[in-house]
Structure 1
């Protein structure tokens, strides 16, 4: 039998925690590290770097500066520049995040056509509390803890979450609902606790739950199991339990909001619920402009394509462009351009697949929550 040494007076009577550096500490560390490098960074740029390195410890900042210096040398420059640091930020991962799945997305708002309302809501939930914390305190309100996006498949819900992480420069933990389930008793709940513990440790951060209906299905329903109910209970505990969820924002996505337990969606847990519909005329036009801007096209009428793609999801519009390019390659592998004729053939192959019954379900659910 192994006995633990008691942490009592006379033995280990003092405990000192060495936390992950906050932005001010990171700035102090960076200023000292940069003394060893020839650089042209000004104070504002150093401040910007300190605000962008959430979860970085001192050793990570050393690695960041070294990686930036290597990039500068590879470009035949003797002086370290801000762009070198930005390049290194995409290569160096914070140590505290290496035990969990972390992504460094490279999606920007400009890569997503339309969805301006949804972009604003996500900025309000994630970026505003960080940039305008004094305003929230002055009005006596707390930022929303979570945002749920629901809508048909292929409407850029996951892509928008990635863009949010890129633009806000926060640590991004991407979790798919079924990933947390285990056949061993207690392991699923432990996995949920571990995700939130890591997110708190490297806050501010975003936890993105894709297919959250698999995790938070309604209790005492035919779709839920005892494991799902225990996982849901653990998720509710993490959202508003004793341990505060500071600077950790939950962003979730689902195609079936009707299957999610109502307790998960009450104010104070997942506060904002946003419908992400099929793209309208203007949104489809933006998507096509972004996609066609990366393709060599000739005599392609965007207005006609927008009209022809009514009821298409964003993913189906992308698939249409891909299929048109494949039609061009079928004619000759040396094809240089994609024409309107290729798009007309593609329209016969790529058709809208969102059933009207699913749209009706979303509309009814929208009326229920408003």
Structure 2
């Protein structure tokens, strides 16, 4: 949190305490940091008017006044709640890890404790002196009986300034000791602090410490060490995954319309964009024929924009093993916002949000979907969402409404020009050894010939054709030949044949709902060249010539 955000949290907390909200819930891993902020609020007369005593409770120490020892008998939760009932001075009671009595993560709820909490409710509201209870826990778990009585307060992860302060303290301490060589300019310190965004203060401190001890120095090159530590920590959540990509946007063949759209929005989250009154772009939904480069585009955007790429696994959001589904989504959103600007990639989004109308999960899917849609519509942090989808029939209609995504792009079967580019990319990528190249030359005539033979083939199929041809050459210990590629093409049955009806259905949907990722001039050229698949709708194959999907909009 920036200083203004800390101030906002303190103001919100003080208002809730003054309004005598009986039960508040702060879900955070940063117990010490949360307690420090709570302590500063309850002692600040300017915020709370009536200063209050601060008590903390844990199952190991019992109920203890701030800075003092707890009592043995109050380790029992019922006795601790009785202590709150009998205490007759202005006070705030912080209950640590009380979720274990609420039935979190498949544990059995303690109904006697829950009943006692409900019995306390009118007493807290009518108490002569104000008293409030704050539950602090890394897990958000509220039993159904208390759903209407507990108010949840968001406690954000530390922001750039807080992490920078931790870094400065560590730098000063190590400069005084002389054990670690510090070679950081103010700009380098900023880069390291930004690299640690999304971590708790404790995790950030550990990451900086690791960078220092790794080679006995701390300099600008340690950004990668911080990011690696960050990847490991995020990986523990099992929901968000860091994707490291060294792809370039030029490594994606074709799709020039989509590329131009993306290039125009590069750096739009920086302060320079504010001069034009521009908001940060929300994201894109990329749908289309399987194997045509949708996932590749997501990785290329990260490399082009030089932003971290996080993949959200919707399957694990709904996993009971990881924890509460609603809490999983909430924490995933908070984490990706904390490290913004960033790119959030949701692959095959239709699989995660299919079957929303069914009641088999007691409405959990609908609530998760609603949370995600609301965030997409109202988010202010620069998080660019890249969602990919193959089966458009499963996409909920609400997802396509204006305001969720900036644009919906349709990726069709590659045109002749695009197929030439894809062949060129994969041949150049793999043909490095002069003995493997031999007499084979990547000329425009060769690319033209291969593109003509692969009408109706997707990019993934073209890649496998190149690999298959190289395996033929490898097995005979010779250089690559054109006939190897021709044979591989002949032995491949393209998706445009095996999934003709599905592709036709995708195109019909895209004609009115999506923008073509391929520019109009390339599509027209494709239609002029195409004749092989010009067939009637009743045929078993795909009508490629006149059924190109996606609206003809050029950027």
Kindly provide the CA deviation profile for residues 71-106 of structure 1, in whole angstroms up to 9, marking residues without a partner as x: x9xxxxxxx997x55765774436763543322223
| Counterparts of residues 89-238 of structure 1 (less than 5 Å) | 91-93=228-230, 97-100=234-237, 101-124=241-264, 127-131=266-270, 133-135=271-273, 137-182=274-319, 187-217=324-354, 219-220=356-357, 226-238=363-375
| 2:494 aligned counterpart, secondary structure | coil
Counterpart in the other structure of 2:86: none
Partner of 2:147: none
Partner residue of 1:364? 508
Rounded Cα–Cα distance in structure 2 between residues aligned with 1:265 and 1:224: 24
Cα shift at 1:48: 6.5
State the 1:237 CA deviation.
3.2
Compute the displacement of 1:252 (Å): 0.4
Alignment CA distance shift 1:232-1:87 (3 Å): closer
Could you tell me which runs of 5 or more consecutive residues in structure 1 were left unpaired when the two chains were aligned: 73-79
Task: List gaps (5 residues or longer) in structure 2.
Answer: 1-23, 26-34, 43-50, 55-90, 93-154, 515-555
Q: Is the 8 A contact 2:207 2:225 kept in 1?
A: no
Secondary structure, aligned partner of 2:344:
strand
In structure 2, the partner of 1:349 is 491
Q: Distance in 1 between matches of 2:358 and 2:264?
A: 34
1:303 aligns with 2:448: yes
C-alpha deviation, 1:24, in angstroms: 10
Residue correspondence of structure 1 range 37-56 to structure 2 within 5 A: 37=181, 54-55=197-198
Between 1:167-176 and 1:196-205, the stretch displaced more is 167-176
Are 1:258 and 2:405 an aligned pair? no
Q: Helix, strand or coil for the counterpart of 2:464?
A: helix
Q: Structure 1 CA distance, aligned partners of 2:169 and 2:489? A: 54
Q: 1:88 to 1:168 in 2, by over 3 A?
A: farther
| Contact preservation (8 Å) 1:105, 1:165 | yes
Larger radius of gyration: 2
8 Å CA contact 2:319, 2:325 repeated in 1: yes
Larger strand percent = 2
C-alpha contact 1:31 1:46 (8 A) present in aligned 2 = no
Is contact 2:164–2:190 with CA below 8 Å preserved after alignment? no
Aligned 8 A contact 1:172 1:207 in 2: yes
| Deviations 1:257-307 (CA, angstroms, capped at 9, x unpaired) | 232112122222223211112222222222212211122334352221121
Q: TM-score, normalised by structure 1?
A: 0.76
Tell me, what secondary structure is at the counterpart of 1:206? Answer: strand
Question: How does 1:281-300 map onto structure 2 within 5 Å?
Answer: 281-293=416-428, 294-295=430-431, 296-297=436-437, 298-299=439-440
TM-score (norm 2): 0.53
Distance 1:111 1:63, change over 3 A: farther
Of 182-191 and 41-50, more deviation after overlay is shown by 41-50
Deviations 1:129-181 (A, max 9, x none): 223x443x344442332210001111111121112223333332212443322
CA contact (8 A) 1:145 1:271 kept: yes
The answer (yes or no) to whether the contact 2:171–2:182 under 8 Å persists in 1 is no
Contact 1:278 1:313 in 2 (8 A): yes
Higher relative contact order (CA 8 A, sep 6+): 1
Is the contact between residue 54 and residue 171 of structure 1 (CA under 8 Å) also seen in structure 2?
no
Q: Does 1:60 align with 2:195?
A: no
Query: How far, CA to CA, are the matches of 1:176 and 1:253 in structure 2?
Result: 13
Whether the 8 Å contact between 1:55 and 1:202 is mirrored in structure 2 is yes
Give the Cα separation in 2 of the matches to 1:322 and 1:344: 12
RMSD: 4.2
Work out whether residues 196 and 230 of structure 2, in 8 Å CA contact, stay in contact via their aligned partners in 1: no
SS across alignment from 1:114: coil
Within 1, Cα distance between the matches of 2:485 and 2:464?
A: 11
Corresponding residue for 1:75?
Answer: none
- Correspondence for 2:468: 323
Query: What are the superposed Cα offsets for residues 54-84 of structure 1, whole Å, 9 maximum, x if unpaired?
Result: 54745434544665x58x9xxxxxxx997x5
Task: Report the Cα distance in structure 2 between the residues aligned to 1:96 and 1:236, rounded to whole angstroms.
Answer: 27
Contact 1:209 1:251 in 2 (8 A): yes
Once structures 1 and 2 are overlaid, which stretch shifts more, 170-179 or 184-193? 184-193
Aligned to 1:269: 404
